[in-house]
Amino acid sequence: TKNTECNLLVLPGDGIGPEIIAQTLRVVSWFGEFLDVQIKTEHALVGGASIDACGYPMSDEVFSKAEAADAILFGAVGGPKWDDRPRSERPEMGILRLRKGLDLYANLRPAICFPELIGASALRPELVRGLDIMIVRESTAGVYFGEPRGISTDAQGARRAVDTQSYAEAEIARVCRLAFELARNRESRVCSVDKANVMETGALWRSVATEVGREYPDVELTHMYADNCAMQLLRGPNQFDVIVTDNLFGDILSDEAAALTGSLGLLPSATISAGRHDQRSHAVYEPIHGSAPDIAGMGIANPIATILSFAMCLRISMNEPAAAKLLEDAVRLALFNGNRTPDIAGPERDGISSDAMTDAILASL
């Protein structure tokens, strides 16, 4: 008998989503056998698959299941079939509903450069060797959600668009606190990124980050302007350990950092809610890439980003850091042994199937 239980809601989605999730579930089963945690999985529809079935990208029924789950494993959503629908009815609204509804305020995006794939980076090898950054992006507030917003037309018929960047002190403090907690298990360095020189929200961000930093005297805190950070990521990415920033800057900088590593099919993410004792915490684990309609159904999608997302689930939701490390090492060993799906194979090689890549990871385990 097992001591604890983890109810994992599995939302495969569209395109390669179901393929990479199927591979990841083989790894989930492996850990289910060996850990002291009983992993129970339940499947549900999201995105275009859900639109086709019931008209909505995420039904109330599936949202309730998400609320009740300990963790959610998400594939990817979207595809050309649903591209001409209005924005509010598109597959992507499925993930937005989860983010808002479960108050998933922090998006964690590691940018790791795998030594075996160093040639895939856009930067010189000496700049990215050993790269391991964690970007923590605030994900429920800021300019993507602020009011007022909209497009209006004046008497002369000229249009004006408005978005509002707004942050409450508490919204900044909680995401900074999380960044400091994460840094304690890494190199104990946090870089807080803002535009305090030209934005009021930036000035508040810097002030709150500094206050929270006083609670963590063991962690080094530095501040950087967002434009400089964009440049420093290219000039010397290894200077960073944990970066914490707002929704807009985090969106851009996390994509930039991922591109540095040249491995879209390899990078995981976690989006988590407050983990207070009095309330239930939620977390969604998903690859950073999309549904890749161009290769869907071919059996060649790289499952590693989703498998490493499950490693984050092991570490964060299941409190099994040793198991997470074991899985990350198994992925590295599979790469070290030369296993490559076509996206990372390079021009000289053919590449192996998703299935064969997962076989290699299971063999490494």
325 included as an active-site residue: no
What is the rounded distance in angstroms from the CA atom of residue 24 to the CA atom of residue 184? Answer: 29
Residues 6+ apart with CB under 8 A from 52: none
Would you call 5 exposed, middle or buried from its count of C-beta atoms within 10 A (0-12, 13-18, 19+)? Answer: exposed
By CB under 5 A, residue 246 contacts Mg ion: no
The one catalytic residue in 36, 100, 227, 325 is 227
HSE toward the beta carbon, residue 180, CA cutoff 13 A: 21
105 included as an active-site residue: no
Sheet with 189-194, strands from edge to edge, namely 37-43, 4-13, 71-76, 283-287, 268-272, 106-112, 132-138, 242-245, 189-194, 220-225
The site partner of 69 among Mg ion, ligand NAI, none (C-beta below 5 to 8 Å per kind) is none
- Of residues 204 and 352, the one with the C-beta less far from ligand NAI: 352
By CB under 6 A, residue 295 contacts ligand NAI: yes
- Minimum CB separation of residue 287 from ligand NAI in Å reads 6
Annotation-wise, does 330 bind a ligand? no
Interaction residues for ligand NAI, span 205-264 (CB under 6 A): 264
- Minimum CB separation of residue 57 from ligand NAI in Å reads 11
Annotation-wise, does 87 bind a ligand? yes
What is the rounded distance in angstroms from the CA atom of residue 25 to the CA atom of residue 31? Answer: 10
Binding mask 107-146 for Mg ion (x = CB under 5 A): ----------------------------------------
Pick from 44, 76, 136, 311 the residue near ligand NAI by CB under 6 A: 76
- Of residues 44 and 295, the one with the C-beta less far from ligand NAI: 295
14 included as an active-site residue: no
Q: How many CB atoms are closer than 10 A to CB 255?
A: 15
245 touches 135 (CB < 8 A)? yes
Taking CB under 6 A as the binding criterion, the range among 58-66, 70-78, 227-235, 311-319 that sits at the site for ligand NAI is: 70-78
By CB under 6 A, residue 18 contacts ligand NAI: no
- Of residues 96 and 326, the one with the C-beta less far from ligand NAI: 96
Annotation-wise, does 297 bind a ligand? yes
Annotation-wise, does 99 bind a ligand? yes
By CB under 6 A, residue 302 contacts ligand NAI: yes
Q: How many CB atoms are closer than 10 A to CB 300?
A: 22
Annotation-wise, does 82 bind a ligand? yes
Interaction residues for ligand NAI, span 161-180 (CB under 6 A): none
Element (H, E) at 254: helix 247-261
By CB under 5 A, residue 251 contacts Mg ion: yes
Q: How many CB atoms are closer than 10 A to CB 351?
A: 16
By CB under 6 A, residue 45 contacts ligand NAI: no
Q: Give the SS3 label for residue 53.
A: helix
By CB under 6 A, residue 12 contacts ligand NAI: no
The site partner of 251 among Mg ion, ligand NAI, none (C-beta below 5 to 8 Å per kind) is Mg ion
Tell me the chain's radius of gyration from C-alpha atoms: 21
**Phi and psi (nearest 5°) for 159?**
-90, 150
By CB under 6 A, residue 33 contacts ligand NAI: no
Place of tokens 């639109």: 51
Handedness of CA 56, 62, 67, 72 (dihedral sign): negative
60 included as an active-site residue: no
The one catalytic residue in 103, 132, 163, 255 is 255
Within 56-131, strands assigned E span 71-76, 106-112
By CB under 5 A, residue 286 contacts Mg ion: no
Taking CB under 6 A as the binding criterion, the range among 135-143, 173-181, 293-301, 313-321 that sits at the site for ligand NAI is: 293-301
The CA dihedral of 88, 9, 17, 33, to the nearest 10 degrees, is 170
By CB under 6 A, residue 9 contacts ligand NAI: no
Task: Name the residues annotated as catalytic.
Answer: 144, 195, 227, 251, 255
Give contact residues for ligand NAI (rule: CB under 6 A): 16, 20, 76-79, 92, 95, 264-265, 289-295, 301-302, 305, 343
